[in-house]
């Protein structure tokens, strides 16, 4: 039986960020759509790999989006994992489902200045709905989100975005509001330097460096010492 360990911090490889940021258009303050999708998949992979380490080096599988159960009973799934929640079916980018949903994660990217201004409020609504559909059926599940935005795209919307994310974050007890998430990270990055700007996220709890610790703490409180884990 696997033993829970420390969840590694999420560290973005500069080489991969540099490749993704190569399509950045400073004049339009926009990243190519395909590279925005690549960034989302990078977030998924990094979170899934860190989660698998934390859970005791369990296997990683690519889920079949048409199946409701994982390929093996104790694995981390990276890819579109189908969750039948209390509100609607929803695909999540990373999942852990040994006996029902214990962990569900989605990444979001806002990749140009116009998109942030136009879409960030709709994204907040999506996050709340996704958290609620999991928690209304699996109240003890750990739900986490990561939002990646180029620094130049934030403009005057950063304060409002962070305030909205704070209201959705830090769900500490299974009886808390179902639309909130246990962990949310706002990844502010510079496509031209391939750097994640940790201190540019003003709310400490939303910084990428704290993301793994929040997930580890929430999961440990709820599941440590319970199968398939041992003390």
Question: pLDDT tens for residues 116-163?
Answer: 988 899 999 999 999 999 999 999 999 999 999 999 999 899 999 999
Judge whether residue 22 has pLDDT over 70: yes
For the chain, the structural domain boundaries read 16-223
For residue 1, name the pLDDT band (cuts at 50, 70, 90): low
183-225: per-residue pLDDT in tens? 999 999 999 999 999 999 999 999 999 999 999 999 999 999 9
How far are the Cα atoms of 7, 35, 49, 178, 214 from residue 174, in angstroms, in the given order? 21, 36, 25, 8, 15
CB 104 within 8 A of CB 136: no
Q: Which residue is listed with tokens 């003003």?
A: 202
CB 103 within 8 A of CB 218: no
* C-alpha of 45 from chain center: 10
Structure tokens at 132: 């609620």
Judge whether residue 231 has pLDDT over 80: no
| 114 compared with 6, residue with greater pLDDT | 6
Mean pLDDT of the chain: 95
3-33 burial code (b ≥16 CB/10 A, e <16): ebeebeebebeeeebeebbebbeeeebbbbe
For residue 226, name the pLDDT band (cuts at 50, 70, 90): very high
Q: Which helix (H) or strand (E) holds 58?
A: none
């Amino acid at each position: 039986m696997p033993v829970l360990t420390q969840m590694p911090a999420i560290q973005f490889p500069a080489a991969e960020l540099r490749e993704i940021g190569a399509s950045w258009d400073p004049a339009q303050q926009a990243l190519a759509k395909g590279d925005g999708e690549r960034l989302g998949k990078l977030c998924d992979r990094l979170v899934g790999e860190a989660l698998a380490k934390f859970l005791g080096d369990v296997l990683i599988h690519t889920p079949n989006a048409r199946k409701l159960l994982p390929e093996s009973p104790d694995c981390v799934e990276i890819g579109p994992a189908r969750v039948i929640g209390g509100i609607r079916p929803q695909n999540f980018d990373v999942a852990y489902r040994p006996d029902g949903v214990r962990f569900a994660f989605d990444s979001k990217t806002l990749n140009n200045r116009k998109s942030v201004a136009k879409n960030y409020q709709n994204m907040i609504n999506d996050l709340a709905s996704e958290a609620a559909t999991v928690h209304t059926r699996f109240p003890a599940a750990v739900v986490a989100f990561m939002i990646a935005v180029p620094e130049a795209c934030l403009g005057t919307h950063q304060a409002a975005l962070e305030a909205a994310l704070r209201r959705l974050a830090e769900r500490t007890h299974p009886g808390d509001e179902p639309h909130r998430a246990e962990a949310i990270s706002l990844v502010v990055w510079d496509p031209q330097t391939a750097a994640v700007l940790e201190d540019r996220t003003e709310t400490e709890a939303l910084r990428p460096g704290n993301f793994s610790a929040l997930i580890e703490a929430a999961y440990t409180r709820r599941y440590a010492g319970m199968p398939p884990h041992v003390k």
